[in-house]
Amino acid sequence: MNQPLAPDSISWMRISSVYLPLATPISDAKVLTGRQKPMTEVALLFVELQTKDGHEGLGISYSKRAGGPGQFAHAKEIAPVLLGEDPSDIGRLWVKLAWAGASVGRSGLSTQAIAAFDVALYDLKARRANLPLAKLLGAYRDSVQCYNTSGGFLHTPTEQLLVNASASREKGIGGIKLKVGQPDRQLDLRRVEAVRKHLGDHVPLMVDANQQWDRPTAQRMCRVFEQFDLVWIEEPLDAYDHEGHAALAASFDTPIATGEMLTSAAEHGDLIRHRAADYIQPDAPRVGGITPFLKILSQADQAGLMLAPHFAMELHVHLAAIYPTEPWVEHFDWLEPLFHERLETRDGRMLVPQRPGLGLTLTDQARAWTREQVEVGKRA
């Protein structure tokens, strides 16, 4: 008769705040409309876990513009509640972390700090099982359709858009996404028209307005963009205008995509109930990690929605691979200096890494960009 396994327990954690500088200041429509300044860096929150039996996991969360110091401070404050806990009890530990900071809520910055712990626990579990994270969770596929965003920002001249689009296609990336939402809507139209003509009708093309249109403008622009046979129009309205997005989704052939700015499973549930998107775009670090992300996937699947997770391809390629309906994953090469490993793209698809867990290890450069760090507990 087999003896039950003695439970392992979490004995040590390292929490790091890492600032990734961007080579070029990034501008989307929020910058051109005066709501934000160009983005010059990304704040990453890393959690490294170790158990008394020597098993390890790596987790990630992030913030663009403000929020990085707050995420680190919250993570540092709640981390001790995990010491001595069984790392397999991931759902229970998510709740325990949420209760540790319950007075600041269960969405936004507080749960984005929890996300790094949650991802680290899943990474540890998959590594211990010697399985890629996607296989641990139950993959439907070994590769995912992918599209490039980083070459299509509004600070990029139209001529360079064409160069960037061709370069992405040559790298095996399938689709191209362009930023729109400028005050001069004719500029948006001309840029999309130029890229569509350059790529031809067969290449998947998306646009993203980053919430910068009001309802009448969105109605007009969605109508104009119908001619380009787009895969989707992203965030035409404010992220919380579910009724407005639902009206657009019902009115036009071009699918509507939104959800990246929502910060909990509950907020995504409200979006889904309103039928506010054809493509739902949850971001695992923003909603609190893999645990709430899986709840969102279950709701989206039942509602018959398509999936295109936002940013952080190193994590989302695994999570997209477990969705029943063919999804998309967003190709951003920004985070590559942080990891030794590279994701492979081929024939329009991103291959799911076959290394255990997320298949990621931090580089010396990531250590060099660390601004704050704290260790909790003792190494095995």
Active site residues: 179, 310
State the Cα torsion 352-356-357-361 to the nearest 10°.
-100
Angle at 378 between CA 374 and CA 380, to 5 degrees: 130
- Please give the Cα distance from 377 to 380 (Å, whole number): 10
CA distance 313 to 131: 18
| CB-based burial label for 250 (10 Å; 0-12, 13-18, 19+) | exposed
Conformation bin of residue 257: beta by default, left when phi > 0, alpha when psi is -120 to 50: beta
> What's the CA gap between 276 and 145, in Å, rounded?
23
CA distance 315 to 376: 25
Considering only the C-alpha atoms of the chain, give the largest distance between any 2 of them, rounded to a whole number of Å: 74
For residue 97, CA distances in Å to 49, 91, 272, 315 come to 15, 10, 26, 21
Six-digit token string for 81: 């509640």
Residue found by looking up tokens 């396994």 in the block:
5
In whole angstroms, give the CA distance from residue 366 to residue 363: 5
Cα 321 from Cα 139, distance rounded (Å)? 5
Residue at 318: amino acid letter = H
In angstroms, rounded to a whole number, what is the distance separating the alpha carbons of residues 355 and 68?
A: 29
Q: Is the Cβ–Cβ distance between 203 and 175 less than 8 Å?
A: yes
Residue whose token pair is 């809507």: 185
